[in-house]
Amino acid sequence: MTPTELAADFVSRNVELLKMTVSDFSDQDFLTRPVPGANHAAWQVGHLVGSAHHMVGAVAPGVIPDAFASYGEKYSGKTAGSDDPKQFGSRAELLEAFAQAYAAVVNWATHLTPEEMNKPTPGGMAQFAPTVGHLVLMNGAHISMHLGQLQVLRRKLGKPLLF
């Protein structure tokens, strides 16, 4: 396995772990906060879609369909405190957008050459992901961070432990 394949696989596996973690959530579960001030699953999944579009779009515009561009604003820090179900997509809509966006990330990452992985990222992106390779890994790490938060929500909801 090449480093590029490994990075793409890391993202892919985190996508599957997140989908497994919320597979038994209802629409209502998706709007439950594990503790006051914590983000609910609907916001977190939408935020991941918007973040992927922003991050990957900075180095490879068009990889993630522009239909997901609105997720960055819809699932921003400004909306994180909202509990209005009309403001967020349904569980099914959010998970479909998540699956499509990250399938595009994984497909793109799988085909990167070592030279492309070493290219610097632009502007402020370079502070947390100095190269395209770092950016690929950051997508997987970002999912992992939210995955931990969703595991706490599973416990609050009384869902069975998965791992």
pTM of the model: 0.96
**CA of 3: how far to CAs of 6, 55, 57, 129, 136, in Å?**
5, 20, 22, 16, 11
State pLDDT tens for residues 15-69: 999 999 999 999 999 999 999 999 999 999 999 999 999 999 999 999 999 989 9
The phi and psi torsions of 120 (rounded to 5 degrees) equal -70, 150
